[in-house]
Structure 1
Amino acid sequence: MTASDGEWLEDRVSDDSGRLFTATSRDAFQKFLASRLSGSSGAFAADTLLRSPVSPSKKLMDLAAGEVRDREQFVLLDQQQTAYSQVMRAVQRAREANTKQVVIVTGGPGSGKSVIALSLLGELSRLHYPVVHATGARAFTLTLRKIAGARAPRVQALFKYFNNFGGARKNDLDVVICDEAHRIRETSADRFTRAELRTGRPQVEELIDVARVPVFLLDEHQAVRPGEIGTVHAIEAAAADLGVDSVRVDLDGQFRAGGSAAYDNWVKRLLGLEEGGPVPWDEQDAPYRLALAESPSELEQRLRQQIEAGHGARMTAGFCWQWSEPASDGLVLDVQIGDWHRPWNVRGEKRVGDAPPSQHWATDPHGFGQVGCVYTAQGFEYDWNGVIFGDDLVWRDGKWVSRPDRSADKQVIRGASPEEFHRLIRHVYKVLLTRGMMGTVLYSTDSETQDLFRSLV
């Protein structure tokens, strides 16, 4: 702006953290910058930053213990306690005998992997072991940062991403807790990575190297994008290549779907992720509720009834519709099925009208009314779950047929072979089907697939 255009801003008081410069005061702006910025190169400072340790300070550990361990009283059950104790023993041995061990914890949705992760983070922080939590899921990490760091913002620094450790020193940490480890990628490099940092080194090796006890918590059936290679075999092989011992703990419990391992098994058989094929759902066999809607409006109405009864609920769908940027008057109604039109959840980190940012879609009450996709729903849970199967996965002649041409997920379409797409799309619906703690309502846009559901539910 010119000075005349900006006269209304001139009344604002300048202080140590704010200055006003207009198009007619460029010389003053240059002088101000010269008084604040060093005249020497910033290369030394940049190199110092890149070589600095990633380990948190003891003061930060105290804050984390207060915010995570003392604030959240988690109760670990059965194999959860076994996994927790395994990690704590490994950490103690690493300190006393200068050893290194990889701990792998596997379990289905709701089996308590993240409860274990946060319990470990809180207790290890209390004991002043350098520890950080890492994931490959943006929405999940941002939500954890918000919850754990609400009263102590510095605690947010303990929640990192898998690609944050490329330049870290070996054993810089005592423990790195890799939650949602099925999302580990081949390398940490992306399109923003500087050329000199593109080492090509496997991401899993970076994560193993950075800590004396790397902990990997994963569900192999939740990898949903090309390049996500977090499997037990890949982690064990990487550990062996690096000469590091590994141990595995399997979580048999099912704590999300009403404690129903039967529902998790039903989903895996439905999608061909376990042998035997689809089977009818026996509601007498488990406390979990499974229902079929004959239209998306009926699905939404059933979920709204649950909200009115005091429960939480969300709608999700396969990524079969374009995802538009918000219009000037709000979210675009991208998900269109007949005369039923709803928007996807917000794409970015800012609220659009009443609609929450993407990372809070699953936890903000205003998230209902938008349709969530797998990238927004993964890692979260809610009481009631509505799942719309799109035309990207349909039932034909007794088997599933995947159709990449009906998908709007460009990253998956471009990066996956037909065989890989068939595997990933079934993982997508596995994730969507296992978000609800009390029940799930199903609907398919494809008539033959809907007939399958009618025969089973």
Structure 2
Amino acid sequence: MALIRGSARYLLTEAQAGRLHQLLSEQARHQWEHQVGVGEVRSWMRSLPPLLNELVDAGLGDVEVLLEHKLPHSPKRVDVILCGVHPRTGEVSYVLVELKQWSKAELLVADLVSIAAYSDAVLHPVAQVRAYCQYLVDSTPALADLPLAVHGIAYLHNATSTDIPSLMKYRSDRFGRMFTEDFKSELVEHLRALLDVAAGRDQARESADRFLRFAHGPSKPLLQLAAKEIQDREQFVLLDEQRVAYQLVEQAVATARAQRTQTVVVVLGGPGSGKSVIALSLLGELSRQGRKVHHATGSSAFTNTMRKVAGSRNTRVKTMFKYFNNYVGSEPRELDVLICDEAHRVRENSVNRWTGKEMRALAGRQIDELIDVAWVPVFLLDENQIVRPGEMGSLDEITAAATAAGCGVEIIRLDGQFRCGGSDAFDEWVGRLLGLAQLPPISWSRMTAGTDDDFKVVAAANPAAMEAWLRSQSERHSGIARLAAGYCWPWSDPIGTTGAKHLVADVAIGDWKRPWNAKPGKRVPDAPESYYWASDDRGFGQIGCIYTAQGFEYDWSGVIFGPDFVRRGDRWVARREYSHDPAVKKAEEAHFGALIRNTYKVLLTRGMEGTCVYSTDAETQEFLEKMVG
């Protein structure tokens, strides 16, 4: 979807009259529902006229131009897409254009560029437009079948080649070539070689119409890469109900293709029951079969880690890992299968994570969008992991939405504990400890009496002792150790100058002080990005919160109960005044306690080999020590 489309000649006339940036701003307010920043408006005013001038001067005034086109299933936008036909083949031809106002820039290393106006390094414009081209082809099967239809250029209209000599040495290919002001004649020659000057308006419009009608989903080349990267690299062994769930989805896909019917599959399971193993196994197998399939979650940390792990050898595979809010405005049944992992995090509406605004112009209920986009939507969830207001991924909600959409529903319940050292006992112990089970709390020693369960559960007298226990277990038995806590302390931005920033030790308990993990988008030297706190070796020594721990596992887990959840007599009390979570604090009173309880359930069930607990509250600490004994 583009903000504006029109011929190059028409758009140039609008720009020269001072109206084009106003039209773009109006459309942005309508489509994006937020005010466009001054910087973006200024870039439209300064960058679009030079390109449009070059097109008209080249005899390409009839070419159809799409401005600010949103890539499918992605928040990213391409500055300009030129639509026409190829002068040699007569086939459709599309040129993606990345416009930059830069006049000075320096190549740092690999794809990174230093610009005086920015404190952080940015991507080389050729690398940027090349990635957009590859993403578009990978997510548009029709374009994958037209191997010469898509091209990319970066136009630095304020710079000359002598201003940016290091950038000029960057490699070029059909998805990425760079032109500067002193290479305008080469730019014109290149565009005329890709777009037929004699084709006329009708063909240009039809080329754009065809582009906007393309169905989207993973292309066959991308699916082949995913199958090789995910399935062939690591063999997943599915047991019992895991295998049933896997085969049920395969059967639903076959039925959907034969009978053109939708089936919603819901897989219910607690922590460590194998939901994500099923998800990745399905992604690999369905990719191998050539099915159009995506993996989606509502967690930045989880999605980014999946992209890093599953796409480590080929970055194109990363594009198959999406967010729940990437399907606003998607066409019905664009995909064969949408695998919604961590589906308890489905929200009421798809929220634009970058602006915080609900995309009301297009967005309906998120659950409806996720069901509508695929023939077989698969939801893998644990209803006791809903930890924020607005999260509504429950069996009842999904079943009701599926029934309303006329879909069949299949439900699989996973039994067994494949995390926490395979300890079903620990999973039950946690449920009873927190009041999530019908039976009352029981001590760990009584729970495991007469069994060979070797999962370790201990209590620490203070956070320093907990940290020491985690370190000793990690060193003695190997494995990853992490310490997490309830969100009961402020979470500061890093302090210091660029290149010398450090985290603030916000979590203070007596003389013991440690920082939270890094905030999303706030990079700090010698600390992992927030997405990778659970897996990066540098994560030890920082305190993880629910948003960085949820969805992950590590060998040795430490959990600090803060003053937001305390034991009083024979019951738990959730105390809003001690919470520092801005989202959870807004929850209704009846819902607040359940969110806090679920938070500690998630934190307690991250460990695979052992868990250590401690509470800042004396009465709660006494209770935990009894339950561990």
> Does TM, normalized by the shorter one, top 0.5?
yes
* Equivalent residue, structure 2, for 1:129: 291
Identify the match of residue 341 of structure 2 among 179, 182, 189: 179
SS of residue matched to 1:410: coil
Residues 1:441 and 2:612 are matched in the alignment: yes
* Equivalent residue, structure 2, for 1:269: 432
Checking the alignment, whether the CA contact within 8 Å between 2:344 and 2:392 is kept in structure 1 is yes
AA in 2 matched with 1:183 = R
* Equivalent residue, structure 2, for 1:21: none
* Equivalent residue, structure 1, for 2:527: 355
AA in 2 matched with 1:175 = V
Q: Report deviation, 1:193.
A: 7.4
AA in 1 matched with 2:254 = Q
SS of residue matched to 2:412: strand
* Equivalent residue, structure 2, for 1:294: 461
In structure 2, the CA distance between the partners of 1:349 and 1:89, relative to structure 1 (3 Å rule), is same
Residues 1:203 and 2:366 are matched in the alignment: yes
CA distance in 2, matches of 1:203, 1:281: 40
TM-score (norm 2): 0.66
SS of residue matched to 1:359: helix
Q: Report deviation, 1:354.
A: 1.4
* Equivalent residue, structure 1, for 2:554: 382
Q: Report deviation, 1:10.
A: 5.5
* Equivalent residue, structure 2, for 1:60: 222
* Equivalent residue, structure 1, for 2:474: 307
SS of residue matched to 1:133: strand
Q: Deviations over 1:384-432 (max 9, x none)?
A: 1000000000011211111111011011112x01211100000000000
Q: Report deviation, 1:99.
A: 1.9
Residues 1:15 and 2:178 are matched in the alignment: no
Identify the match of residue 491 of structure 2 among 301, 320, 323: 323
CA distance in 1, matches of 2:551, 2:438: 26
AA in 1 matched with 2:268 = T
Q: Report deviation, 1:197.
A: 4.8
CA distance in 2, matches of 1:132, 1:244: 19
Checking the alignment, whether the CA contact within 8 Å between 2:261 and 2:407 is kept in structure 1 is no
Mapping of 1:358-437 within 5 angstroms?
358-414=530-586, 416-437=587-608
Checking the alignment, whether the CA contact within 8 Å between 1:383 and 1:439 is kept in structure 2 is yes
CA distance in 1, matches of 2:402, 2:591: 25
* Equivalent residue, structure 1, for 2:621: 450
Larger Rg: 2
Identify the match of residue 274 of structure 2 among 104, 112, 119: 112
Report sequence identity in percent. 53
Q: Deviations over 1:193-243 (max 9, x none)?
A: 778753452111111111111100000000100000000111001011111
CA distance in 2, matches of 1:425, 1:115: 27
SS of residue matched to 2:441: coil
CA distance in 1, matches of 2:167, 2:390: 50
* Equivalent residue, structure 1, for 2:507: 335
Mapping of 1:22-33 within 5 angstroms?
none
In structure 2, the CA distance between the partners of 1:441 and 1:62, relative to structure 1 (3 Å rule), is same
SS of residue matched to 1:401: strand
CA distance in 1, matches of 2:608, 2:358: 45
Residues 1:158 and 2:320 are matched in the alignment: yes
AA in 1 matched with 2:465 = E
CA distance in 1, matches of 2:522, 2:235: 31
CA distance in 1, matches of 2:208, 2:366: 23
CA distance in 1, matches of 2:456, 2:254: 44
SS of residue matched to 1:140: helix
Checking the alignment, whether the CA contact within 8 Å between 1:79 and 1:253 is kept in structure 2 is no
SS of residue matched to 2:592: helix
Residues 1:212 and 2:375 are matched in the alignment: yes
SS of residue matched to 1:205: helix
Moved more, 43-52 or 388-397: 43-52
CA distance in 1, matches of 2:221, 2:299: 27
* Equivalent residue, structure 2, for 1:256: 419
Moved more, 322-331 or 67-76: 322-331
Q: Report deviation, 1:447.
A: 0.3
Q: Deviations over 1:77-101 (max 9, x none)?
A: 1111010011111111111222211
Q: Deviations over 1:90-136 (max 9, x none)?
A: 11111122221111001010110000000000000000010000000
TM-score (norm 1): 0.90
Q: Report deviation, 1:362.
A: 0.6
SS of residue matched to 2:256: helix
SS of residue matched to 2:168: coil
Q: Deviations over 1:139-196 (max 9, x none)?
A: 0000111111111111111000111111111111110000000000011134737787
Q: Report deviation, 1:443.
A: 0.2
SS of residue matched to 1:455: helix
In structure 2, the CA distance between the partners of 1:66 and 1:450, relative to structure 1 (3 Å rule), is same
Checking the alignment, whether the CA contact within 8 Å between 1:349 and 1:359 is kept in structure 2 is no
CA distance in 2, matches of 1:295, 1:44: 70
Q: Report deviation, 1:276.
A: 2.3
SS of residue matched to 1:82: helix
In structure 2, the CA distance between the partners of 1:50 and 1:289, relative to structure 1 (3 Å rule), is farther
CA distance in 2, matches of 1:77, 1:434: 21
Identify the match of residue 69 of structure 1 among 231, 236, 255: 231
Unpaired segments ≥5 residues, structure 1: 19-26
Identify the match of residue 93 of structure 1 among 241, 252, 255: 255
Unpaired segments ≥5 residues, structure 2: 1-101, 105-115, 117-161, 172-179, 196-200
CA distance in 1, matches of 2:208, 2:508: 49
SS of residue matched to 1:400: strand
AA in 1 matched with 2:473 = Q
Which is bigger in relative contact order (C-alpha 8 A, separation at least 6)? 1
Checking the alignment, whether the CA contact within 8 Å between 1:207 and 1:214 is kept in structure 2 is yes
CA distance in 2, matches of 1:359, 1:44: 43
Moved more, 301-310 or 58-67: 301-310
Checking the alignment, whether the CA contact within 8 Å between 2:330 and 2:373 is kept in structure 1 is yes
Checking the alignment, whether the CA contact within 8 Å between 1:306 and 1:312 is kept in structure 2 is no
Q: Report deviation, 1:287.
A: 2.2
CA distance in 1, matches of 2:301, 2:103: 41
In structure 2, the CA distance between the partners of 1:439 and 1:62, relative to structure 1 (3 Å rule), is same
Q: Deviations over 1:35-60 (max 9, x none)?
A: 8999x9xx999998876533110000
Which contiguous aligned blocks of 4+ residues in structure 1 show a shift greater than 2 angstroms?
A: 9-14, 34-38, 43-54, 189-200, 282-287, 348-351
Identify the match of residue 400 of structure 2 among 221, 237, 247: 237
AA in 1 matched with 2:513 = H
Q: Report deviation, 1:13.
A: 3.3
Q: Report deviation, 1:288.
A: 1.3
* Equivalent residue, structure 1, for 2:384: 221
Checking the alignment, whether the CA contact within 8 Å between 2:296 and 2:341 is kept in structure 1 is yes
CA distance in 1, matches of 2:385, 2:606: 12
Checking the alignment, whether the CA contact within 8 Å between 1:388 and 1:445 is kept in structure 2 is yes
